[in-house]
Structure 1
């Protein structure tokens, strides 16, 4: 499988996760998101995406679970009432796994759906 973005072919694994995280940019994110049924990426989406990328790239490959994502997004979005349901509205298949896919990160090895 591969994505075509701005005339460039972006290679992926069989599940649609990028082979090379350096191929990622916001245009790639939009193409992946569209394929995932997330038709519009808002600032809130990019808050989660940028957090996931930062954790992976700058924290030894860390792929945070839902609890940690919610905790971080409460601070980033300055919304003390934010919960996992709010994040599932952004990424319906799973904020941690679907969000990571759209963020161009490797497929998570943690157990769980998606």
Structure 2
């Protein structure tokens, strides 16, 4: 049984890495952009809408290994998690603060 968990975790981390590397902007969230399943995810979706940038997303509620793996991938305990150009930007509080200060516009420019 331990091997299955490890294999699932390895596959999840490979999927996460692929999502981050192959999308200029990617959001790991609870739910979908059209139907967020938590207030924090909804808040980040709303912030991204302000910029009109295309982004990929993955619903962490669909896969336990992804949900746990993303926490290890960024060494960040909460979801949502936003990545831009392959780098971890932050969760809801950080993204909201960067938006408020105008810093997120800098991060999202030249996409």
TM interval, short-chain normalised: under 0.3
Q: Which of the pair is proportionally richer in helix?
A: 2
Q: TM-score, normalised by structure 1?
A: 0.25
TM-score normalised per structure 2: 0.25
Higher strand share: 2
